[in-house]
């Protein structure tokens, strides 16, 4: 537990914001145009994907996050399933492997993050709309069959790190339909996932409030564990896949 007084913590937060805000502006004014040009030149291919990884990696460093990857993300049409803590999860995962995420439709309107999500081949879901979910699952299966990776957060929303991880099963229907391998991914902020609550949204906290609060946080490691995959021959229905992926992610969360 930190023994730093509130006054000192406020001063340190101000100092971190003082040097990270200029870095963020540089990343926007210099890194963004470079990224846009490379994405346009790449036309959705390897160059475009490399540009997005470059952008995402730079943004994680601006926020003081040092990504430590464990395991290897598989190539091709893989369904990556991860626990969900923060909007930063997508940026962290994109710094390691290009994948199109399932994102709530509201993210389209978020400054910067909405643009990143669109450029990152996101599939937007209207939460609470059964027809929208069916369309999303169909689009996922089509992309997986075409050899394109998809990333999902089967919890259905961000969590503070408290309580048990629970993966909903319906989203795994795309992997069953496309007979695509599922690779679980554990995202842990801080040693033994000790900073999950810090990165997550506080009660009634808006996006911009969280953005600037996290920007002022101390530097920390985020561990991204690409875990043992679940190939189609091990599938035992949607619920079985969800339970297996959930168990692997839960076990990896507190490892260090």
pLDDT value of position 51? 93
Report angle CA 24, 120, 238 to the nearest 5 degrees: 130
pLDDT value of position 3? 66
Render pLDDT for 43-91 as a digit per residue (tens, 0 to 9). 888 999 999 999 999 999 999 999 999 999 999 999 999 999 999 999 9
pLDDT value of position 43? 84
pLDDT value of position 115? 73
pTM: 0.91
Cβ(229)–Cβ(74) under 8 Å? Answer: yes
**Which tokens hold the place of 215?**
């920007």
What strands, in cross-sheet order, belong to the sheet with 123-125? Answer: 65-70, 220-226, 182-189, 79-82, 150-152, 100-104, 123-125
Residues in the chain with pLDDT values less than 50: 1
């Amino acid at each position: 537990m930190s023994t730093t007084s509130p006054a000192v913590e406020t001063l340190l937060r101000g100092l971190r914001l003082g040097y990270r805000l200029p870095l963020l502006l540089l990343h926007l004014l210099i890194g963004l145009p470079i990224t846009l040009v490379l994405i346009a030149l790449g036309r959705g291919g390897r160059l475009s994907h490399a540009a997005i990884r470059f952008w995402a990696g730079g943004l994680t460093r601006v926020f003081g996050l040092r990504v430590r990857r464990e395991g290897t993300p598989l190539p091709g049409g893989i369904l990556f399933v991860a626990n969900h803590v923060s909007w930063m999860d997508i940026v962290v995962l994109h710094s390691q492997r290009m994948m199109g995420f399932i994102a709530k439709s509201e993210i389209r309107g978020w400054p910067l993050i909405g643009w990143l999500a669109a450029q990152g081949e996101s599939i937007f879901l209207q939460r609470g709309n059964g027809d929208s979910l069916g369309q999303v699952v169909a689009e996922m299966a089509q992309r997986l069959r075409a050899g394109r990776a998809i990333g999902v957060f089967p919890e259905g929303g961000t969590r503070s790190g408290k309580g048990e991880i629970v993966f909903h099963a319906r989203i795994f229907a795309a992997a069953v339909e496309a007979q695509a391998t599922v690779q679980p991914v554990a995202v842990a902020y801080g040693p033994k996932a000790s900073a999950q609550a810090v990165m997550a949204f506080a009660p009634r906290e808006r996006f911009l409030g969280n953005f600037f609060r996290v920007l002022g946080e101390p530097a920390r490691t985020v561990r991204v564990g690409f875990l043992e995959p679940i190939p189609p021959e091990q599938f035992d229905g949607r619920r079985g896949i969800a339970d297996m992926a959930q168990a692997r992610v839960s076990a990896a969360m507190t490892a260090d």
